[in-house]
């Protein structure tokens, strides 16, 4: 565990792997912290990467300003942290809230980016997402942090995972409760009050982008990722089978395999960002790691595909 002062704020970060290797940086979701990437860091370090994970401003052991955080501060702090570490370009992977930060970083600090993986995320608030966000905010402020945590588990995870981990959930919730502060999470959520859609600037992201969306994610559903797929000029969309919103936690091996293949193809120059839609194999060791989506990726019903713009 290390700390750096970036733009006047104390930021906690972790590095895995030796200096000089290609860098992969992870950005957390709203209620997460850097520790959730520990296994990813160890595995990617074994594969020859250097991995950076950090607590965002307002999370974990990083500073938690009470008077508010601008959304743009997060991408600027990542840029500052990379400069502090004297890192060159980085692959960047962000989930949910962290995916928005990653997109913002790609737009405003694109020269530092090798490849971008955006998971369970969005570029603008659809009415459904906005209203769900309002409910989450209300729950946090009117009932409390444990209520928000209780709400997020069934929203983000499958029934199978919940059944298998039921006994552990109270301990996990308690750990999350201790590591988070209500006012800090509230600030992160309030930073969306003046959120300007990133959509008009997505075409500025010229580098490779892997979009990943859980098959059953109803928090940031397909339409959020479809908008990204259509606007980003050098991307692919991969659907993660059986997954909900938080597949980085529920299906780490499969997620890691997809990310690893993405970073590898970007690094060896074989990446093809043709806007195509793929399905991740449901075994981490399967060959190939993904296959072209055979149906209409916008439908939940198994109806035949119809033509839609590439």
Residues 6+ apart with CB under 8 A from 211: 117, 118, 119, 225, 228, 229, 232, 235, 236, 237, 238
Please tell me whether residue 14 binds other proteins under the rule CB under 8 A.
no
Closest approach of other proteins to the CB of residue 74, in Å: 17
Please tell me whether residue 171 binds other proteins under the rule CB under 8 A.
yes
Q: What are 37's two structure tokens?
A: 């990437």
Please tell me whether residue 143 binds other proteins under the rule CB under 8 A.
yes
**Among 175, 272, 294, 308, interactor with other proteins by CB under 8 A:** 175
Please tell me whether residue 165 binds other proteins under the rule CB under 8 A.
no
Closest approach of other proteins to the CB of residue 161, in Å: 21
Q: What are 56's two structure tokens?
A: 């965002």
**Among 178, 193, 301, 303, interactor with other proteins by CB under 8 A:** 178
Closest approach of other proteins to the CB of residue 137, in Å: 12
| 125 φψ region: left (φ > 0), alpha (ψ -120 to 50), beta (else) | beta
Closest approach of other proteins to the CB of residue 136, in Å: 15
CB of 141 or CB of 241, closer to other proteins: 141
**Among 186, 213, 238, 258, interactor with other proteins by CB under 8 A:** 186
Task: Provide the mask over 248-277, with x wherever binding to other proteins is found by CB under 8 A and - wherever it is not.
Answer: ------------------------------
- Using CB under 8 A as the binding criterion, the count of chain residues that bind other proteins stands at 22
Instruction: Report the 3 state secondary structure along 49-75.
Output: CEEEEECCCCCCCCCCCCCCCCHHHHH
- Which among 61-69, 206-214, 217-225, 259-267 is the span making contact with other proteins, rule CB under 8 A? 61-69
Please tell me whether residue 137 binds other proteins under the rule CB under 8 A.
no
Residue for token pair 């370090």: 45
Instruction: Please write down the long-range contacts of 10-13, taking CB distance under 8 Å and 24 or more positions apart.
Output: 10/62, 10/63, 11/54, 11/55, 11/57, 11/62, 11/63, 11/77, 11/81, 12/54, 12/55, 12/60, 12/61, 12/62, 13/52, 13/53, 13/54, 13/55, 13/81
DSSP states of 267-280? HTT----EEEEEEE
Please tell me whether residue 174 binds other proteins under the rule CB under 8 A.
yes
Residues of this chain that bind other proteins (CB under 8 A): 61, 65-68, 141-146, 170-171, 174-175, 177-179, 181-183, 186
């Amino acid at each position: 565990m290390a700390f750096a002062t970036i733009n006047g704020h104390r930021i906690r970060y972790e590095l895995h792997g030796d200096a000089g290797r290609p860098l992969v940086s992870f950005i957390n979701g709203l209620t997460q912290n850097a520790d959730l990437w520990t296994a990813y860091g160890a595995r990617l370090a074994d594969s020859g990467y250097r991995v950076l994970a950090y607590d965002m401003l307002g999370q974990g052991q990083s500073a938690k300003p009470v008077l508010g955080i601008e959304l743009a501060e997060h991408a600027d702090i990542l840029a500052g942290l990379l400069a502090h570490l004297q890192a060159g370009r980085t692959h960047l992977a962000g989930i949910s809230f962290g995916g928005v930060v990653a997109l913002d970083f790609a737009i405003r600090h694109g020269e530092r980016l090798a490849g971008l993986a955006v998971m369970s995320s969005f570029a603008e608030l659809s009415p459904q997402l906005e209203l769900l966000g309002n409910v989450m905010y209300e729950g946090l402020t009117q009932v409390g942090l444990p209520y928000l945590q209780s709400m997020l588990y069934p929203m983000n995870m499958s029934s199978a995972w919940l059944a298998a981990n039921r006994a552990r959930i109270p301990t996990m919730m308690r750990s999350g409760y201790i590591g988070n502060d209500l006012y800090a999470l509230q600030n992160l959520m309030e930073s969306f009050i003046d959120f300007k859609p990133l959509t008009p600037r997505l075409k500025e992201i010229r580098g490779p982008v892997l979009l990943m969306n859980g098959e059953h994610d109803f928090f940031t559903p397909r339409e959020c990722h479809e908008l990204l797929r259509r606007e980003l000029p050098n991307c692919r969309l991969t659907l993660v089978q059986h997954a909900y919103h938080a597949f980085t936690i529920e299906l780490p091996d499969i997620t890691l395999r997809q990310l690893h293949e993405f970073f590898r193809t970007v690094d060896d120059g074989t990446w093809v960002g043709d806007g195509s839609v793929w399905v991740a194999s449901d075994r981490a060791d399967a060959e190939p790691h993904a296959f072209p989506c055979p149906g209409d990726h916008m439908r939940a019903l198994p109806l035949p595909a119809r033509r839609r713009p590439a």
